[in-house]
Amino acid sequence: MSAARVTVLGGGNTAFALAADLALRGHQVLLWEHPDFAETVEPIRERRVIHLAGTEKAGAASLTGVTTDAAEALTWSDALLAAVPSYAHAAFADQLVPHLRPGHLLALLPGNLGTLAFAGALRAAGTSGVALAEADTAPYVCRKTGPDGAVIWGAVRGLGVGVFPASETDQALATLRTFFPGARAYRHVLEAGLSAPNPVVHPPGVLLNAGRIERSRGEFWFYEEGVTPSVVRAIEVLDAERLALGAALGVGLVPVAEAFHRAGFGPAGDLWEAINGSRMLTALRAPGAVETRWLTEDVPYGLATWAALARQVGVPTPVMDALVTLASAVLGVGGWAGERSPAALGLAGLTPEQMAAFLESGREFTEGGEQGVP
């Protein structure tokens, strides 16, 4: 596969692993981090080397550049891969939107419907012609090992990607397959967002292990020891609510156990078999505190959004609602309904048929129910 220019956005676990892996595979990689978090890339700014270990290509990966200048980063390449948590999307949009232009492809890895939030920011800025894509999960199970190092325990097989507007899917997927050869397309970004496995598995796992996490500071194997048969049962009930929401929206979703197997996380079977047979997942320690991305991202940008969409279309989600309420109590926060609400995503008041039309064309509905200019 020919080498390509690509800009990786972020400075955390996945961004480091992605930048290093792509560089070792021959691509020309520029790494950009938000200026407020410049300390994450400062250790590699001068030498521009990330030491990668694990199951993928390993070695010292030489990057083309490391910067906190958004104009430089977006001038370097039309392909932009953002590997940051959903709660960083708004801050990233503030930096990126002024420099996004027609021909850019911005992919969120993962997205949690962040494409629709970015689309709103682009509309407000009067910018069109930018393709937005989001994956259902991160491309790797990985961690940073130090200021200039990362490890990949496994790569996702067949990364699922939705594109906004969906009419741009073929062209966007052709570009993304340069970096993720097995990438497959969802019908649209709503299907991709509702297919994310993290909000299904992480919140029940963390909340039902909260005491152990705090007592041990995460010193146990999260999936192998913490996702016990009773925790799996809770996850499966939550997953049934997600599947019911998908059916009401006209979106065909697959059960989380099947999704884990398709992604290469574990063997075919029920969720217990997929998790306990996974070399990637059973290698993961628990988070060191309950104030973890597995709650602070996966609840307000995952479960809370799904629950709000379910209320809009009349689907009961008692377990989903309970997990959102419980996570709010455990973390001592509230007001999550507005983080990524249907209104914030341009979906409020739309029927499933209108949602599908909006996601396909990118054109919003007017008060009269007609689609306007994208």
Supply the pLDDT for residue 273. Answer: 80
Is the per-residue pLDDT at 88 higher than 90?
A: yes
Q: What CATH number has the domain bearing residue 177?
A: 3.40.50.720
Q: Decide: 74 and 104 in contact? Cβ < 8 Å.
A: yes
Of the residues 145, 176, 193, which one is the last residue of a structural domain? 193
Residue 149: inside a domain: yes
More confident residue, 1 or 8: 8
Supply the pLDDT for residue 279. Answer: 74
- Give the global pTM: 0.93
Is the per-residue pLDDT at 269 higher than 90?
A: no
Least confident of 7-21, 144-158, 288-302, 353-367: 353-367
202 and 188, same structural domain?
no
Residue 267: inside a domain: yes
Supply the pLDDT for residue 373. Answer: 52
246 and 182, same structural domain?
no
Closest CA to 302 of 353, 356, 238, 360: 238
Highest mean pLDDT among 207-221, 278-292, 338-352: 207-221
186 and 222, same structural domain?
no
State which amino acid sits at residue 302.
G
Secondary structure class of 68 (helix, strand, coil)? coil
163 and 119, same structural domain?
yes
144 and 225, same structural domain?
no
Is the per-residue pLDDT at 302 higher than 60?
A: yes
Q: Is 180 exposed, middle or buried (0-12, 13-18, 19+ CB in 10 A)?
A: buried
Of the residues 193, 221, 249, which one is the last residue of a structural domain? 193
Q: What CATH number has the domain bearing residue 279?
A: 1.10.1040.10
Residue 171: inside a domain: yes
Supply the pLDDT for residue 370. Answer: 62
Least confident of 26-40, 150-164, 255-269, 287-301: 255-269
More confident residue, 11 or 223: 11
Supply the pLDDT for residue 47. Answer: 96
Please write the tens of the pLDDT for every residue from 177-222.
999 999 999 999 999 999 999 999 999 999 999 999 999 999 999 9
The domain of 207 spans: 198-341
Supply the pLDDT for residue 277. Answer: 74
| DSSP state string for 184-244 | EE-SSHHHHHHT-SHHHHHHHHHHTTHHHHHHHTT-SBIIIIIS-HHHHHHHHHHHHHHHH
Is the per-residue pLDDT at 79 higher than 70?
A: yes
319 and 237, same structural domain?
yes
- Give CA torsion, residues 359, 360, 361, 367, to 10 deg: -50
Q: Average pLDDT for residues 339-354, to the nearest whole number?
A: 92
Is the per-residue pLDDT at 253 higher than 70?
A: yes
Of the residues 171, 193, 215, which one is the last residue of a structural domain? 193
Is the per-residue pLDDT at 42 higher than 60?
A: yes
Residue 351: inside a domain: no
Supply the pLDDT for residue 369. Answer: 65
Helices (H), the chain: 13-24, 42-45, 70-76, 89-96, 114-125, 169-176, 189-194, 198-207, 210-216, 229-248, 256-262, 271-276, 293-296, 304-313, 318-331, 352-361
Question: How many domains does the chain divide into?
Answer: 2
207 and 179, same structural domain?
no
| Average pLDDT over the chain, rounded to an integer | 93
Q: In the structure, what pLDDT confidence band is assigned to residue 339 with cuts at 50, 70 and 90?
A: confident
How much of the chain exceeds pLDDT 70, in percent? 96
188 and 124, same structural domain?
yes
Residue 159: inside a domain: yes
What's CA 111's distance to the chain center, in Å?
4
Is the per-residue pLDDT at 8 higher than 90?
A: yes
260 and 218, same structural domain?
yes
Residue 101: inside a domain: yes
Residue 348: inside a domain: no
- Give CA torsion, residues 86, 92, 97, 100, to 10 deg: -90
Supply the pLDDT for residue 335. Answer: 63
Q: In the structure, what pLDDT confidence band is assigned to residue 270 with cuts at 50, 70 and 90?
A: confident
Q: Average pLDDT for residues 163-167, to the nearest whole number?
A: 97
257 and 234, same structural domain?
yes
How much of the chain exceeds pLDDT 90, in percent? 81
208 and 159, same structural domain?
no
Distance CA 34, CA 137 (A): 22
Supply the pLDDT for residue 337. Answer: 64
Residue 365: inside a domain: no
221 and 188, same structural domain?
no
Please write the tens of the pLDDT for every residue from 323-332.
999 999 999 8
Q: Average pLDDT for residues 69-94, to the nearest whole number?
A: 96
